[in-house]
Amino acid sequence: MIDPPLDGVQTPEPEPAHSADPDAVPPQAGPPEPKRTERPHPLTPLIRGWVVSLALIIGLGREILGWFTESRPLPPLQLLLGGIGGIAVIAVLIGLASWLATRFVIDADELRIESGILLRKSQRIAFDKVTSIDVLQPLAARIFALAELEIDIGSSERVKLRYLTRARSYSLRDYLLSRAHSHQAELVHTEDPGLQLGDLSAEDEVLVQVPPQRLLLGAVTSNEFIGLLITIIITVTAAAIAAPYFGGPVLVLALGVSAISGIGGFVVRRLTGQFNFTLSSRPAGLRISRGLTSLTSQSVPPRRIQLVRLSQSLWWRRFGWYRAEIDVLGMGMRNEEDTHASVSSVLLPVADHAQVRLVLARIWPEADWESIQLHPAPFRARWLHPVAGPFLGLGHDDLLVVSRHGWLERRWDLVPHARVQSIRIDQGPVSRKLGLADLAFHTAGSRLHPHAYGLDANHVLERQDELIMLAQAHRSDITLAPAARPAAPADQPGPEALRADQAEATISDTE
């Protein structure tokens, strides 16, 4: 192996770059100079120690509050402080050891991370396996202008690099994203963008920015909020009726207080999690940045998007607002809590029709979901789907399948044929009597399950061959506009390349 030039690599860290293995004897053939490896920022162990002791203080504080109310004797203060201090020191020491053990290489020909104190682990990741990269900035790291790089490679475990300087995180993120698209990219040093709420660079083009007012209004009119409200009203009314027999007004008061804090918590979580939600476009893909207390920025390569689900809460119909969710290959079982610094599947929290159009045109330039003629479910489907019946429908053109369903929340599932892995037709005993059938489209995502319900069985019978044919048709990349598409299908890998593509994403070994 001949080492490619490393001029693209820069090490903005204050400490000198470490050689991977200074004692290694270079092999005879093509003696490469030792690879330049990096370590995370030296403040890392301190921050991790701080996080541990903070968790400890909060945990202990709760215990002690409990002791107060039970009027138990407190242990001496010295013991407490000593205990916390001791554990914090141990945490810092462990952090230090793991920092010493962690090294990474990101250069023109590999992305490799070595970590582990006792169990040494060397993880090498193929560039094209990187599905998304997130730069997370928890509070403690933010203070020191550090950030955490989270690399999603499609397996359940996400590769974490923490903590790096913010500038380094962003430049690595940009580099890896370009490489994920098989662009030849140069690793360039970006300036530290500084502490800011947004996260945009010069080449970013802002597509959608959700103002806080709309976020607030959207949260308050969402089905979740209304459901919460109804539950609370029922509980408080029931408590008010039962109050004379049980705890009296105190009961109602206590319930009311917890209800208000519940509502407040919901709105605040929505607001802080999605604050300043910005969807921007850059050559390498889409990027989402959001969050008030901790800024999350998340990259979404359009090629990995398996489907888009538009949904509309009951009241949003009036405003013409939509929420867009995506299922991305390798997003794994990401939680639905779109609030904290974790990565979520929300593409647009609240958006109007024009914005949805704009964003979808970026993802799938040629697909036009609105021009697809939907075939409604027959009237008899209302026996099985009394409320949703009139809304159910399925349609497709040669790029997309669109399924419309849902009643309290209306949903449109948009699935490109190119992402359909298999199709299933289902029919239960009642459906058979009614001459109905359901369709399920299996995609590589794991969160959203696109379905079409209550279809006319004869209609399905006529379409099934066509749908199956479309699912397996060879076609050029749906994420590219016709102009941007290469004349020769260079992007279309042959069977061999595909096998390689489907091979294990990471080569990791433990010693």
Partner 1 sequence: MDALFQPDGDWQRLGDVAVVSHRVNSLALNLLASIGLLVGVWILTNGDLLWVGAAAVAAASWTTWRVIRIGRWIRSFGFREGERDLLITHGLWYKSLTAIPYGRMLSVEVTTGPVSRLWGLADVQLITASHRSNAQIPALRATDAARLRDHLIALGEKQALPL
Query: Are 304 and 131 spatial neighbours (Cβ–Cβ below 8 Å)?
Result: yes
Minimal distance in Å, beta carbon 481 to partner 1? 18
Looking only at residues 312 through 331 of this chain, which bind partner 1 when binding is defined by CB under 8 A? 329
47: three-class secondary structure by DSSP = helix
| Residue 460 touching partner 1 (CB under 8 A) | yes
Residues 397-436 that bind partner 1 (CB under 8 A): 418, 421-429, 432
Contact mark string toward partner 1, 328..347, x via CB under 8 A: -x------------------
Identity of the residue, 261 or 492, whose beta carbon is nearer to partner 1 in the bound complex: 492
**Is residue 482 a contact point for partner 1 (CB under 8 A)?**
no
d(CA 447, CA 433): 32
CA torsion, ordered 177, 180, 183, 186, to nearest 10 deg: 50
Q: Which is nearer to partner 1, 19 or 421 (CB)?
A: 421
Cα separation, 445 vs 29, in Å, equals 44
3-state secondary structure of 207: strand
Closest separation between CB of residue 427 and partner 1, Å?
5
Contact 49, 88 (CB under 8 A): yes
Give min distance, CB of 432 to partner 1, in A.
Answer: 7
What contacts 24+ positions apart, CB below 8 Å, involve 123-128? 123/159, 123/506, 123/507, 123/508, 124/506, 124/507, 124/508, 125/151, 125/153, 125/159, 125/505, 125/506, 126/505, 126/506, 127/176, 127/179, 127/180, 127/182, 128/179, 128/180, 128/182, 128/501
Residues, the chain: 511
Instruction: Give the integer Cα–Cα distance in Å for 415 and 394.
Output: 11
From the list 202-210, 239-247, 272-280, 491-499, the region that binds partner 1 by CB under 8 A is 491-499
**Shortest Å, Cβ 477 to partner 1:** 8
Distance CA 190, CA 167 (A): 6
Beta bridge partners of 287: 280, 299
Quote the least distance from Cβ 509 to partner 1, whole Å: 22
In whole angstroms, the minimum distance from the beta carbon of 174 to partner 1 comes to 24
Q: What minimum distance in Å lies between the beta carbon of 56 and partner 1? A: 39
Q: Is 500 in the site for partner 1 (CB under 8 A)?
A: no
Q: Which is nearer to partner 1, 92 or 300 (CB)?
A: 300
Q: What is the largest CA-CA distance in the chain?
A: 91
Q: What does the block give as tokens for 357?
A: 């159009």
| Binding test (CB under 8 A) with partner 1, winner from 143, 501, 507, 510 | 501
Choices 143-151, 220-228, 339-347, 459-467 (CB under 8 A): range interacting with partner 1: 459-467
* 461, 466, 486, 507: which one binds partner 1 (CB under 8 A): 461
- Per CB under 8 A, the segment of 51-59, 176-184, 358-366, 442-450 that binds partner 1 is 442-450
Does residue 449 bind partner 1 (CB under 8 A)? yes
Q: Hey, what's the torsion of the CAs at 288, 290, 296, 298, to 10 degrees?
A: -10
User: Which residue among 20, 105, 216, 440 contacts partner 1 (CB under 8 A)?
Assistant: 440
Binding-site size for partner 1 (CB under 8 A) equals 38
**Site residues (vs partner 1, CB under 8 A):** 329, 418, 421-429, 432, 437, 440, 442-446, 449, 457, 460-461, 464-465, 468-469, 471-472, 474, 477, 492-493, 495, 498-499, 501-502
